[in-house]
Each structure stands twice: as C-alpha cells, then as structure tokens.
Amino acid sequence: MKKILITGGNGQLGRSLNKLLKYTDAEIISTNSTTLNICDEKQVDAFVKEHVPDIIINCAAHTAVDKCETDYDNAVRINAEGPANLARAAESIGAVMVHVSTDYVFDGDTDKAYVEEDKVNPQSVYGRTKLMGEENVIKYCSRYFIVRTAWLYGEGNNFVKTMLRLAESNDKITVVSDQFGTPTSSDELAEMILHIIPSGKYGIYHGTCEGQTSWYEFAKKIMKFAGKTTEIIPVTTEEYTKAVAKRPKYSVLENAKLNSMGEYRMKNWEDALEVYINSL
C-alpha cells in the first residue's frame, strides 16, 4: 500500500485527489497550510521524515494571478521556495514528487498548442514564480512529475463559479474573447495524475482537458449548461481593464507526453464542464 502526502489538500485539486484516493488502498496524509506550511523548510523536512510517504503531491500554490503582481515575496515563497523544500525532503527519503504547474509559464505569443519541450517565457509574477518552482523541483528531486495544467475549476473559487454568481444579478456579463486556452476540471486532472504516477516515466507533462476555447466561449457554455439566459458580451484584452497581470493570448497545452503513453485521454473540456455543472 502506497503512502501519499498531499499538500494544499483543501484546494480544488487537493480535494479532487482526496475524493479519488478514498476509493483506493493508498494511505493518504492530506495537509493544508495550517497543518503543513510548505514555506517552512524545517517543518517540511521534519514532517516528511516522520511520515515517510512514498509519493508527495504538491497542490499548494499562490494561485491569485493578479494579487501575485503586488505580493511578490509571498508568491516566491509559496510558488518557488515551497516546492524546493518539498523536493529536497522527497529526495532525502527517496520519495516521488508530483508538482503542479501552469500554462502561464508560456508567453502565449503563438497560435500552435504548446508541447512540454517548448520554450518557456512567463509574463507575470505568477508565471515566473511557478517556473522557479518547476526549476527547483528539477534541481532537487530526481524522481519528479511536473504537470502543467490550465483554467482549473473544482470545489473552490474559479471562473465557472464567478460566472454563475454574476449571472444571479446581471443580464449581461462582459468576457475576454481573445485569450485562448483549455478549461480543465480538477477531477480530470486528479485522475490524470494518478494515471501517470505508476508509469515511472518522470518528467514534465501537460495535463489539460482536450480541445480549446476562449474565455468568452467558455462563459457562453457555462450559461448554456446551467440553463441561464444571461448574455455574454465579448471584449478584447485591451478593452477589459480589470486584469492586473498580463495573461498569455494563446496558452493551449497539448498533452503530448500523456497521449503518447497509450489509450488514456483526458475528457474533452465541454464534456467535463457539463459533468461539473450537473454536479453543482
């Protein structure tokens, strides 16, 4: 029986992993920022040495993309130094480390889906600090999986919930129509992570639902699946002035490595979204 340590266990992905792992014979140690602060090197080291997990899955992150722009020190601590602490601790006991990263490590200045080996060039504090996290994991841990995902939604705050909340009190919502990516269900991502771990094929993976869309089309689909009549109005990135951090225009990720491994595919984003909205 495998022992799995989950950090950030109360976040969207953390909750999805906990849900899935309940049905396996794995022993789960799920932690949150109170029970295990990944930024505290000594605490991480002591915790890992006490529990000796076989696998560490890091779901903890500073995910508030705009806030990161003015909260640089915390973003570095959580997104870069935290993964380094976990990677060093994992290596010290011979554990496998799974670290989750983002499409925002790319600049989005393309019209072709990114594969794992493509050149990174983050444009925001969030993207830069997440890239530092990737680099630290590679530097300190020999058996690692880095899984880049995008536009995640699950149990927590996310775009789908925001759209549904806004639809309660608005007839019209303006949404950016010239940024493209792939909405991804955290349940789908959790399943993908548990699928790749036994392969032992370490390295960087892209893990998003299949297909691609814009935030505008995503919002329209949310309204459709939720049976709402709220009108979605497209705006350009230039017209939408509320975003602080620069977002990539086109950050579609191709799950090249995952799809080369066999039959397993992540769900199409529309199918996964429908499942999610029906579950709310």
Ligand X SMILES: NC(=O)c1ccc[n+]([C@@H]2O[C@H](COP(=O)([O-])OP(=O)(O)OC[C@H]3O[C@@H](n4cnc5c(N)ncnc54)[C@H](OP(=O)(O)O)[C@@H]3O)[C@@H](O)[C@H]2O)c1
Which of these is catalytic: 104, 126, 205, 216? Answer: 126
CB closest to ligand X, residue no: 11
Nearest to ligand X of 136, 186 (CB atom): 186
Q: Taking the complex as a whole, how short is the minimal distance between the CB of residue 186 and ligand X, in angstroms?
A: 6
Q: Taking the complex as a whole, how short is the minimal distance between the CB of residue 1 and ligand X, in angstroms?
A: 25
Nearest to ligand X of 25, 189 (CB atom): 189
Q: Is residue 126 annotated as a catalytic residue, yes or no?
A: yes
Q: Taking the complex as a whole, how short is the minimal distance between the CB of residue 23 and ligand X, in angstroms?
A: 20
Q: Taking the complex as a whole, how short is the minimal distance between the CB of residue 269 and ligand X, in angstroms?
A: 13
3-state secondary structure the chain: CCEEEEECCCCHHHHHHHHHHCCCCCEEEECCCCCCCCCCHHHHHHHHHHHCCCEEEECCCCCCHHHHCCCHHHHHHHHHHHHHHHHHHHHHHCCEEEEEEEHHHCCCCCCCCECCCCCCCCCCHHHHHHHHHHHHHHHHCCCEEEEEECCEECCCCCHHHHHHHHHHHCCEEEEECCCEECCEEHHHHHHHHHHHHHHCCCEEEECCCECCEEHHHHHHHHHHHHCCCCEEEEECCCCCCCCCCCCCCECCECCHHHHHCCCCCCCEHHHHHHHHHHHC
Nearest to ligand X of 73, 171 (CB atom): 73
Q: Which stretches of the chain bind ligand X, using CB under 6 A?
A: 7-8, 10-13, 32-33, 37-39, 59-61, 63, 78, 82, 100, 102, 130, 149-152, 156, 186
Residues catalogued as catalytic = 126
